[in-house]
Structure 1
Amino acid sequence: MTSSQAPGSLSVLFAGGGTTGHISPLLAIADDLRYQDPEARLTVLGTPEGLETRLVPEAGYDLVTIDKVPMPRSLDTSLVRFPGKLLGTITRVRKLIRERDVDVVVGVGGYVSTPAYLAARLTGTPIVIHEANAHPGMANKLGARFTPPERIGFAFAGTPLPGEHVGMPMRAAIEHLDRRDPATREAAARHLGLDPALPTIIVTGGSLGAQTINDAMLGAMEDISSAGVQVLHITGRGKGEDLRAAAAGQPHYHVVDYVDGMENVYLAADLLVCRAGAGTVAEVSVMCVPAVYVPLAIGNGEQRLNASSAVKAGAATMVANADFTAEHVRTSVLPLVTNPAQLEAMERAAEALDFPLAAARTMVGKIFAAAGRPHPARAYPAHLLTKKER
């Protein structure tokens, strides 16, 4: 404990990491907790290999790493070594919980959550869980057995866990902005170097890019230009060479590696073409952006499930990765982005879904309740208010 931390201040251990899908909601919850209780002692448990090694210290939090202990999926020597490795990580987390006098363990899934939940169970430490995907991971399924439903929140309705549909903890800037304000949308388009008067497709495959999407857009580039549509294509680092070369003669096809501040993307897009990661689907739902989802074709089908409610409601369309071709862009994407009435109907459908806002606040409420402490109820300044609160 440092001199700036009050004796007896709330101590919370956050467990999660590996990908932005785990780290982003974790940090959003931590930020809200830090705002409500600046004296709280917050520790993040991660692995030495994940993105948390950069993102967590940058956010100003203390990171403690443990070795990743994945469950073996085949009958080999790793299966024999697994129990000992898992026991070693559990022992280390138990020691951390005791050394830091942890009041609550908060897990968001991933490799480190399993030993964190087991250590919390052994020490009698309350557990709070957030599940980002519509298809829960193994760690959170395990953790849900050790904590009552009122301490569990999940992002998507229909997620097969006990608990509450709270939405996705995310940056306040996403929840703050309203696409219904034409001036805000125009400013976002100009910030991105786009013409606010043109129908706009924004394409993104996430931080790693999506080669299938990139190839399909490349194949349809001439048709896109002929349709009078502008595109901002966010390719991912090192993925856009062919697109960039082809777009050199196309004044309304813009290719960039990444965009800082996705809120401007959501505001400027008339139509978004993207993967269906949990964070993306949640942010698109909150911003009510008409979308074409192209789920990643690997994993347990969680991306398809993440987007299913929006598609069923008419707020988005979905196409299999293998079927997202240049021909699909010509026959489905271009007719959609040039149909204002259909885009308007999709926005209204997204609004009717009423995706929960302020999930980070809801999860912080669960943390204080689990710790048996009163919520500080500190008022939020204007820039931290949601669009509904404004």
Structure 2
Amino acid sequence: MSSTPRTLSVIVAGGGTAGHIEPALAVADALRELDPTVRITALGTERGLETTLVPARGYELALVPPVPLPRKLTGSLFKLPARVMSSVRATRRVIDRTDADVIVGFGGYVSVSAYLAAGRGPLRRSRKVPVVVHEANASAGIANKVGARIAARVLAARAGSGVTGRGRPDAEIVGIPVRPTITDLDRPALRAEARAHFGLPAQGPVLLVTGGSQGARSLNDAVSGAASALAAAGVSVLHAHGPKNTVTVEHTDPRAPYVAVPYLTRMDLAYAAADATVCRSGAMTVAEVSAVGLPAFYVPLPHGNGEQELNARSVVAAGGGVLVTDANLTTSFVATEVVDLLTDAPRIAAMSAAAAGAGHKGAATQVARIVLDVARGPRP
């Protein structure tokens, strides 16, 4: 007598920033593709982007208190244990309610609670839940370093991220999960529709500029300052300047327009419309840009631990992009180096092929298969 297989339950934990949420949702999409019956619950906090991104993608969102980890010795450090306990208790309730078979974490505030609620130690539950950790950045954050200690499988975008080597020598290099609307994008086939959508000309080169909601100002100033030079070379611009910023371009040419918008809701169309991009080099940005084969001028954020430069190195080494420091991205640079690339079709074609070859288009499916293997394994 055969029994009906139990519906699997997966918790994805990656709230806070788009860099944590998008890989989590890409894996969720791949899980549904592989097993339409799987129950997926996204763990998040009320202050993160997940409050809009997760419901928009059709997934259940369970909110828990955030656990921001202080980086300096301040008064907030003394409040940390109570905050951790509160968040872990809330996470335990989500685990019990969903009868989770596996937790897959992508770093960030909520992952700390998920790892502690599922793993060993003084906060152990009566039934452990296996953990899969994915690290997208070139330098692992505190949350994933914690998670890697108790995880059944550890996955990383690249070697040397801090969860590989001495940390977890069995870590698997899989790339960064990217949603199907990006990995399956046929840029040439969508080009005409994409350009019409943004009011860009059907012919001639197009530069895409994105700086994100933070750190966009220097990109905005450098590119908008070169608007006349870009127009004179016949280069149109699609510029997402960020909702907190504005871009003013005094001289425009209808034959090579400068289209400035606060935010792009259709990144697939933006990628399809463009021939090259000027952008930051966050892990998710590099993954998407390389997946679609778009030549890029990567401009790492000038502050932080330098991980944005590390994120882009492999694509640049392959010939799919150019690294530019924030200080060197000037109006003069855009008017010369960026214009030179966009008016050199053979070079654009070679860089496009190199960028596409450096990406990991199948990462989301690969991670989803690993998650299902762990979920279907023996319960701890």
Using the size of structure 1 for normalisation, the TM-score is 0.86
Superposed, 1:162-181 pairs within 5 Å as 162=164, 163-179=171-187, 181=188
1:366 and 2:367 matched:
no
Contact in 2 for aligned 1:208/1:237 (Cα 8 Å): no
Contact in 2 for aligned 1:18/1:46 (Cα 8 Å): yes
Partner-residue secondary structure (3-state), 1:45: strand
1:333 & 1:218 partners in 2: Cα distance? 13
Aligned residue identity for 1:365: R
1:251 & 1:228 partners in 2: Cα distance? 5
2:233 & 2:267 partners in 1: Cα distance? 26
1:158 & 1:48 partners in 2: Cα distance? 33
Distance 1:342 1:147, change over 3 A: same
Contact in 2 for aligned 1:209/1:235 (Cα 8 Å): no
In structure 1, the residue matched to 2:281 is: 276
Aligned residue identity for 1:239: N
1:80 & 1:44 partners in 2: Cα distance? 29
In structure 2, the residue matched to 1:132 is: 136
Distance 1:335 1:154, change over 3 A: same
Aligned residue identity for 1:165: I
Q: Unpaired segments of 5 or more residues in structure 2?
A: 165-170
Superposed, 1:1-390 pairs within 5 Å as 8-121=6-119, 122-123=124-125, 124-148=128-152, 151-162=153-164, 163-179=171-187, 181=188, 183-208=189-214, 210-243=216-249, 245-247=250-252, 252-353=257-358, 355-372=359-376
Greater shift after overlay, 116-125 or 87-96? 87-96
1:173 & 1:111 partners in 2: Cα distance? 27
In structure 1, the residue matched to 2:168 is: none
Q: Report % sequence identity.
A: 46
Contact in 1 for aligned 2:205/2:235 (Cα 8 Å): yes
Greater shift after overlay, 22-31 or 188-197? 188-197
Deviations 1:154-200 (A, max 9, x none): 23455342322222222212111234x4x443443333322232122
Distance 1:280 1:154, change over 3 A: same
Partner-residue secondary structure (3-state), 1:323: coil
In structure 2, the residue matched to 1:379 is: none
- Pairwise CA distance, 1:229: 1.7
2:155 & 2:48 partners in 1: Cα distance? 24
Partner-residue secondary structure (3-state), 1:222: helix
Deviations 1:33-91 (A, max 9, x none): 23333332222211111111122222222222222222223333322221222122223
Partner-residue secondary structure (3-state), 2:91: helix
Q: Unpaired segments of 5 or more residues in structure 1?
A: 1-5, 375-390
1:192 & 1:157 partners in 2: Cα distance? 39
Aligned residue identity for 1:205: G
Using the size of structure 2 for normalisation, the TM-score is 0.88
- Pairwise CA distance, 1:107: 0.5
Deviations 1:232-270 (A, max 9, x none): 222122423423x55488852222223332122222222
RMSD: 2.3
Partner-residue secondary structure (3-state), 1:105: strand
Deviations 1:105-164 (A, max 9, x none): 11110011012101111232100112121211111111111124xx22223455342322
1:58 & 1:302 partners in 2: Cα distance? 30
2:205 & 2:370 partners in 1: Cα distance? 43
Contact in 1 for aligned 2:231/2:252 (Cα 8 Å): no
Distance 1:114 1:187, change over 3 A: same
Distance 1:290 1:71, change over 3 A: same
Partner-residue secondary structure (3-state), 2:209: strand
Aligned residue identity for 2:282: G
Contact in 2 for aligned 1:218/1:246 (Cα 8 Å): no
2:37 & 2:190 partners in 1: Cα distance? 36
Partner-residue secondary structure (3-state), 1:321: coil
